[in-house]
Chain A
Amino acid sequence: MQITMTVNGTEVTAEAEPRTLLVHFVRDTLKLTGTHWGCDTSNCGTCVLLMDGEPVKSCTVLAAMAAGREIRTVEGLAQNGELDVVQKGFMAEHGLQCGFCTPGMMMSARALLDRNPDPSETEIRTAISGQICRCTGYATIVRSIRWAAAQ
């Protein structure tokens, strides 16, 4: 079927089977491989991207269900060549080690700051609680998001 959605501000149309999961549509069809794919079971959160501004686990959403909606991936964070403050925060506070969980963490952080510009440490920890960092860099991830909030 033909699927049309807005991805990082640009309308895209592509052919995909109804059973195609959004994570594979974004990575394999649109070649936006910044969104990672890990557990496949909606547990790890590395596939988190924003759908109509809200973080969702894209391994548990059909591409067909995202048709007509606004998708924002990690590639859409930087604007006009300038990194988003969340990305800067992860650089400044060493918010990543291997980087596998990072895109999902940053997208959840972006959505959190959009609705709550000054989150407490507890609010940050809650917001990323459905996401796993295998390198267990949670302390630095939380600090990175605090850094972004402070800017």
Chain B
Amino acid sequence: MQVPAPFDYARAESVEDALTLLQRHGPESRVIAGGHSLLPMMKLRLARPEWLIDINDLFELDYLVEDGDVLRVGALTRHATLLGSDLIAGKLPIVTDAERVIADPVVRNRGTIGGSLCQADPAEDLSTVCEVLRAQVVIRSLDGERVVSMEELHRGPYETAVEQDELLTEIRFPIRPRTGSAYEKVERRVGDWAVAAAGASVTLADDGTIADVAIGLTSVGLDGRTATRAEDALRNAPPSEEAFTAAAELAKQDCDPVADQRGPVDYKRHLAAELTKRVLRRAVERAR
């Protein structure tokens, strides 16, 4: 039987309250959102907090709002809510694509976007999605609030800029005109982490050429970075199969996958190229 080591538990009633509890209980206290990454780690003793601060009652962190050219998403928004949102499907289809293949429907009822980003697992699908969309995140402490980019947020595998006494409260997605996005993942079976996955966002200029593009890959050793050489090759180019193939080749060269039970290196590299091509095609179609 896998059970976490003993800890104390407190349920926060507001963001202020959560921050106060984190400060009061000190370095060994940690927030729990959906718990679908943290509890498995605690069962395996990969995490051993002495205090858990439950933030599931913070309904003020569960929202999706369009605010001018920004879509603001509360950190406690569940995967299932993101998947079911017409607003998201309309403005940021890459999120809907990804949510369809994150874990399984039951896990998606609990897991949150904030938990996913704070977990910073290199295989986390939403991290790639947020990088591709150039999202910014809001981090709160008792002293105030700061807004950081995804690059600043993710310091490395399982390591983020969110300090122990801070909360990630919001994710901000820029909404840009003439922009399309897409995500595609290859998994061994439903609910599994990616063997490899790719996401792209493409903005078209009035003349139909690519004004801006972002390409991200999951689980192939491109942690916290987008495929910049592939992006540079596409910028200002007309979208074409040849251009996508050339960009996919660059993305394939720039990734650095490791062989594991999900597959050998050459297979993952092959997927990186193929999936890059597919998401570029789909993103361009959606931008038109």
Please determine whether chains A and B interact with each other in the same assembly. Answer: yes
Point out residues on A near B: beta carbons under 8 Å: 1, 17-21, 24, 40-43, 45, 48, 54-57, 60-62, 64-65, 67, 108, 126-127, 129-131
A67 to B57, alpha carbons, bound, how many Å?
11
Knowing A61-B35, A62-B39, A130-B104, the reply to whether A43 touches B191 (Cβ < 8 A) is: yes
User: Which residues 12-50 of B sit at the A interface, judged by CB distance below 8 A?
Assistant: 32, 35-36, 39-40, 43
- Kindly provide the distance from the CB of A49 to the nearest chain B CB, expressed in whole angstroms: 10
- Kindly provide the distance from the CB of A80 to the nearest chain B CB, expressed in whole angstroms: 28
In the complex formed, the residue of A with least CB distance to B191 is A130
* Most chain A CB atoms below 10 A, which of B1, B2, B56, B109: B109
Kindly specify which of B3-11, B68-76, B132-140, B219-227 makes contact with the partner chain.
Answer: B3-11
B54 sits at the interface (CB 8 A): yes
Check if A41 sits within 8 Å of B2, measured CB to CB.
yes
B190 sits at the interface (CB 8 A): yes
Q: Which of A17, A55, A60, A129 interacts with B35 by CB under 8 Å?
A: A60
- Kindly provide the distance from the CB of A110 to the nearest chain B CB, expressed in whole angstroms: 13
Q: Which residues of B contact A57 (CB under 8 A)?
A: 106-107, 110
> Which interface class (under 10, 10 to 19, 20 to 34, 35 or more) fits B?
20 to 34
Chain B window 88-122, contacts with chain A (Cβ cutoff 8 Å), 1 for yes, 0 for no: 00000000000000011111011000000000000
* Most chain B CB atoms below 10 A, which of A55, A57, A64, A65: A65
Check if B105 sits within 8 Å of A126, measured CB to CB.
yes
Check if B52 sits within 8 Å of A45, measured CB to CB.
no
Check if B9 sits within 8 Å of A62, measured CB to CB.
yes
Q: Which of A1, A20, A62, A129 interacts with B104 by CB under 8 Å?
A: A129
A97 to B7, alpha carbons, bound, how many Å?
40
Q: Which of B2, B5, B109 interacts with A54 by CB under 8 Å?
A: B109
A41 to B54, alpha carbons, bound, how many Å?
20
Point out residues on B near A: beta carbons under 8 Å: 1-9, 11, 32, 35-36, 39-40, 43, 52, 54, 56, 80, 103-107, 109-110, 190-191
Check if A64 sits within 8 Å of B5, measured CB to CB.
no
Check if B32 sits within 8 Å of A56, measured CB to CB.
no
Check if B106 sits within 8 Å of A19, measured CB to CB.
no
Q: Which residues of B contact A41 (CB under 8 A)?
A: 2, 40, 43
Check if B106 sits within 8 Å of A55, measured CB to CB.
yes
Check if B6 sits within 8 Å of A17, measured CB to CB.
yes
Check if B106 sits within 8 Å of A48, measured CB to CB.
yes
Check if A129 sits within 8 Å of B9, measured CB to CB.
no
A60 to B104, alpha carbons, bound, how many Å?
14
Q: Which residues of B contact A56 (CB under 8 A)?
A: 106, 109-110
- Kindly provide the distance from the CB of B275 to the nearest chain A CB, expressed in whole angstroms: 21
Check if A130 sits within 8 Å of B56, measured CB to CB.
no
Q: Which residues of A contact B1 (CB under 8 A)?
A: 24, 40
Check if A129 sits within 8 Å of B5, measured CB to CB.
no
- Kindly provide the distance from the CB of A93 to the nearest chain B CB, expressed in whole angstroms: 22
A108 to B4, alpha carbons, bound, how many Å?
26
In the complex formed, the residue of A with least CB distance to B110 is A56
Check if A18 sits within 8 Å of B35, measured CB to CB.
no
- Kindly provide the distance from the CB of A71 to the nearest chain B CB, expressed in whole angstroms: 14
